[in-house]
Structure 1
């Protein structure tokens, strides 16, 4: 078979058109898509039957040379076997002539691809998640689709109808005379057509070879960095420093109230049950259709928003920079999973990929670990940490303060200027060479005091800015690498700045000691509170019990001894807490004196 070769100046694109087939047209479309599913199930059963047979024969001790031979699952072998079986198999012999041969070829091609992916995945030749053995497609869960590659496929004159093999002429939902004009001018050639049932409607997707008329971007020398998010769908900044944002419409959140109402209606109806074989009632089918319409409307609104955004960006800028987001990992956050899925980050990147290619623009994908939000767009210094709740970026090195999304977009635009030379960029000078793993200073370093004294390990004593007392700061020395060069990465046992104010620092050896002291002081406070509560309860009970005796109305109660013991226990517990707190205070005083 001759391999398809794309003509110079043409591109492969797809046109998706809605159909209005009518009752008879819908019946024929359902028959063709059902034939594709039946052929797929036949191929799966035909191939896997030999697998189970060989397994049974091996369990009987039959030798390898006497086992049932393997069956080839290539498309050619499946076609040949199906053409021989369709005349005698009772599942196909009575009705296979009603449909086009392309319907059966669709199912066989899908089955061949499924077995090929499974074999390559099992042998390690296929990347991605492991593929399982192809399974049968059920009538309810299978996607109704059929692909036509041969025969008469054309859009009729006037652009109101389309003709497909064995299906005849079907009316289009929209008027498309522009496609007819392109075909007559020789700038469009239809290669295949795929009909599919989506959102309770029939669609046809035409794969065509077309000479695109889209011109270059309006600003070919300008780069734009796009930072995707939930608060705003996209915040983008160009290489000139201009920032803008695309608001997040949140279509799913707007439809949640209606979805809850329709879902409650569905749950009250008698639905299908695979365990018992129970079929869905007509009321359940009607309620489920109403619920699906809400989902379909949300999907259409989301697709319209994303298409308008990506088309505008691809038509405006010559270089587009996006981030390689780990969307699957982001969806593990149960608090933001629904908003992240509604934003469709992956779809935005997919559309930008082919739309920039159609206009001859560049699409740069920043590395997944590029710290766009933590890096200052003014001086290039990166923060060690920037929690997601901090929405304003404040640089401690140069004093720049701006929104964190605007800062990320400016960094992405500057990344395009450094990598491709497109645009002027906003950051002057050469790009920073420090790795993101380095802990950058959080404030401008102060000059060393003239009377600073040195401690052990090269530690220089400096006054603390908060309390005015002396603190120790570790001076990191270069660590020789295995290649003989020196690196500025800190060693494993290096310590960050230790503050005398008790601030929490990473890699501080005394951190465990401080934590133990804090736990001891907290234990003393708890003992004092517990003793006070026990003493108060005993005193109240004693007062209530002794009051009648003092008034002369009742004799001295015998259980006063128990209340006295309860008060004594309270005194002991409170005293233990006081002693422990006093001891901890003396220990801290001795430690402070030794540090001075």
Structure 2
């Protein structure tokens, strides 16, 4: 480094652009299908491949210092002489990538063919992945424990690229969009819904994301929209939503109205066709990465036909869930849903396929954000709240209620009612009885009950630890401590 560069004044760090909506505005997405030609599709794949390559480089670059320090410690090198930790913040990754992209043989020949936003997408994803890993390791991130970021596979990663700067606009003909370096691409559907909002000044495009999903190229515009809070039809009424397999949802409101939403079962309907197409694919010469065998044309055609059925099922499911959740959130001022253990329910091999086809988690997600749009509230019942085992007439709670018993019979007041309808009534009543300031309803002050007395729908199986002496993995405490100490020596201080 030259003396001039070494003593040059440091440039002030640029503030990161944040998308915080203005008062009266919300940030939402508008997604449109694209119809690119062969040249444009090749450019789209090139941009998405560049984003994946930048992500893999960032992961390898950061973790290389971890491995180097671990190796140096085995040589007896002192702590002060070890290789420095490489930072994973987005500005640091950008600076390092801009330095190596001209000389690294992995990028030197083709990096200039794509927009800078493609590489920024991969670097931003890598920085977010390391941040999530650090927060999860330090106990500051909810959910399952995350592992170290790994490289993305070319064959498994979903192609995606995000644009935040440059020319991003909708064309006046409402059938084309313009993106940086990609040019003007025709859309499969009209963009007039978003074009009208931009024209009257009630919407502003913040970014655009292209991805290949369900056999099509899609573009999603992140838009800041001025949204007038609509009034629901019955703002003072509460509705309980009980999800199930036989009926997708049973709703019961505080006014006594009961509705049974049938389960479309799109996957079960298409299962016979999928089996036939899967047999056809298995009889063709498919790809084999171990031997380098390329798939035949007949295999590609058969696989494309099978994928079209899968894509159609996914589209039908998404359409049905959106219609259901939109109707509920536009009618009631309070929506009560259950905190179902969907991951545990999927472990039931007899019901896993039907539960996955119903989309329980997606229904709750849509009900939550759509209620916020309509100025309504969402109440989440506690996971161990016995909605199905509680009598909606007298409040008596049964000790056991097997899943195959579809009719609830109360031994105290002789009430005979459908099991799902009884659960929906209890959820609707819960909105007025046990609502706390956090929006979570249930037994808030009492200790968590045991899973044995919980509702059958939320019971998750647990593994037995008899073979390990009551300890996960059979590791004695002293061994766990030594393993943890060795791991801390090979990880940055932010992860300790």
Give the TM-score category using the shorter length: 0.7 to 0.9
Alpha-carbon distance in structure 1 between the residues aligned to 2:433 and 2:159:
48
Instruction: Please identify, of 7-16 and 122-131, the stretch whose mean Cα deviation from structure 2 is larger.
Output: 122-131
Q: Which residue of 2 aligns with 1:70?
A: 85
1:50 equivalent to 2:65? Answer yes
Q: Which residue of 1 aligns with 2:245?
A: 230
Alpha-carbon distance in structure 2 between the residues aligned to 1:35 and 1:350:
32
Q: Which residue of 1 aligns with 2:38?
A: 23
SS in 2 for 1:276: coil
Kindly indicate whether the alpha-carbon contact (under 8 Å) linking 2:30 and 2:194 is maintained by their aligned counterparts in 1.
no
Alpha-carbon distance in structure 2 between the residues aligned to 1:67 and 1:236:
63
Report the CA distance between 1:436 and its aligned residue.
8.4
Kindly indicate whether the alpha-carbon contact (under 8 Å) linking 2:215 and 2:311 is maintained by their aligned counterparts in 1.
no
Report the CA distance between 1:62 and its aligned residue.
1.9
1:401 equivalent to 2:429? Answer no
1:81 equivalent to 2:100? Answer no
Q: Which residue of 2 aligns with 1:288?
A: 303
Alpha-carbon distance in structure 2 between the residues aligned to 1:59 and 1:436:
49
Alpha-carbon distance in structure 1 between the residues aligned to 2:80 and 2:289:
42
Q: Which residue of 2 aligns with 1:559?
A: none
User: Which of residues 261, 274, 282 in structure 1 aligns to 2:276?
Assistant: 261
1:414 equivalent to 2:429? Answer yes
SS in 1 for 2:43: helix
Question: Relative to 1, partners in 2 of residues 1:3 and 1:196: Cα closer, same or farther, differing over 3 Å?
Answer: closer
User: Which of residues 329, 340, 346 in structure 1 aligns to 2:361?
Assistant: 346
User: What aligned pairs does 1:79-478 form with structure 2 within 5 A after superposition?
Assistant: 79-213=94-228, 215-419=230-434
Alpha-carbon distance in structure 2 between the residues aligned to 1:122 and 1:312:
41
SS in 1 for 2:34: strand
Alpha-carbon distance in structure 1 between the residues aligned to 2:286 and 2:76:
48
1:458-511 Cα deviation digits (max 9, x unpaired): xxxxxxxxxxxxxxxxxxxxxxxxxxxxxxxxxxxxxxxxxxxxxxxxxxxxxx
Report the CA distance between 1:98 and its aligned residue.
1.4
Alpha-carbon distance in structure 2 between the residues aligned to 1:159 and 1:214:
27
Report the CA distance between 1:420 and its aligned residue.
5.7
User: What aligned pairs does 1:481-496 form with structure 2 within 5 A after superposition?
Assistant: none
Question: Relative to 1, partners in 2 of residues 1:50 and 1:68: Cα closer, same or farther, differing over 3 Å?
Answer: same
Unmatched segments (≥5 aa) in structure 2: 1-14, 437-445, 454-496
Kindly indicate whether the alpha-carbon contact (under 8 Å) linking 2:389 and 2:398 is maintained by their aligned counterparts in 1.
yes
SS in 2 for 1:20: coil
User: What aligned pairs does 1:555-566 form with structure 2 within 5 A after superposition?
Assistant: none
Report the CA distance between 1:156 and its aligned residue.
1.3
Question: Relative to 1, partners in 2 of residues 1:300 and 1:77: Cα closer, same or farther, differing over 3 Å?
Answer: same
Report the CA distance between 1:256 and its aligned residue.
0.9
User: What aligned pairs does 1:501-512 form with structure 2 within 5 A after superposition?
Assistant: none
Kindly indicate whether the alpha-carbon contact (under 8 Å) linking 1:374 and 1:384 is maintained by their aligned counterparts in 2.
yes
1:61-92 Cα deviation digits (max 9, x unpaired): 22222222221111111100111111112221
Alpha-carbon distance in structure 2 between the residues aligned to 1:302 and 1:4:
31
Alpha-carbon distance in structure 1 between the residues aligned to 2:317 and 2:20:
35
Alpha-carbon distance in structure 1 between the residues aligned to 2:343 and 2:355:
10
Q: Which residue of 2 aligns with 1:528?
A: none
Kindly indicate whether the alpha-carbon contact (under 8 Å) linking 2:229 and 2:375 is maintained by their aligned counterparts in 1.
no
Q: Which residue of 2 aligns with 1:451?
A: none
Unmatched segments (≥5 aa) in structure 1: 422-432, 441-596
Kindly indicate whether the alpha-carbon contact (under 8 Å) linking 2:167 and 2:178 is maintained by their aligned counterparts in 1.
yes
1:60 equivalent to 2:84? Answer no
Question: Relative to 1, partners in 2 of residues 1:281 and 1:51: Cα closer, same or farther, differing over 3 Å?
Answer: farther
Alpha-carbon distance in structure 1 between the residues aligned to 2:238 and 2:419:
19
SS in 1 for 2:190: coil
Kindly indicate whether the alpha-carbon contact (under 8 Å) linking 1:239 and 1:417 is maintained by their aligned counterparts in 2.
no
Alpha-carbon distance in structure 2 between the residues aligned to 1:261 and 1:138:
30
Report the CA distance between 1:290 and its aligned residue.
1.7
Kindly indicate whether the alpha-carbon contact (under 8 Å) linking 2:26 and 2:227 is maintained by their aligned counterparts in 1.
yes
Report the CA distance between 1:346 and its aligned residue.
0.4
1:561-594 Cα deviation digits (max 9, x unpaired): xxxxxxxxxxxxxxxxxxxxxxxxxxxxxxxxxx
Q: Which has the higher contact order (CA 8 A, sep 6+)?
A: 2
Report the CA distance between 1:199 and its aligned residue.
1.3
Larger radius of gyration, structure 1 or 2? 1
Could you list the runs of 4 or more consecutive aligned residues of structure 1 that deviate by over 6 angstroms after TM superposition? Answer: none
Kindly indicate whether the alpha-carbon contact (under 8 Å) linking 2:242 and 2:424 is maintained by their aligned counterparts in 1.
yes
Kindly indicate whether the alpha-carbon contact (under 8 Å) linking 1:158 and 1:180 is maintained by their aligned counterparts in 2.
no
Alpha-carbon distance in structure 2 between the residues aligned to 1:41 and 1:420:
46
1:33-65 Cα deviation digits (max 9, x unpaired): 111111111112222222222222222222222
Q: Which residue of 1 aligns with 2:3?
A: none
Alpha-carbon distance in structure 1 between the residues aligned to 2:449 and 2:93:
54
Aligned length: 427
Report the CA distance between 1:419 and its aligned residue.
3.9
Question: Relative to 1, partners in 2 of residues 1:178 and 1:23: Cα closer, same or farther, differing over 3 Å?
Answer: same
Kindly indicate whether the alpha-carbon contact (under 8 Å) linking 1:382 and 1:436 is maintained by their aligned counterparts in 2.
no
Report the CA distance between 1:214 and its aligned residue.
5.5
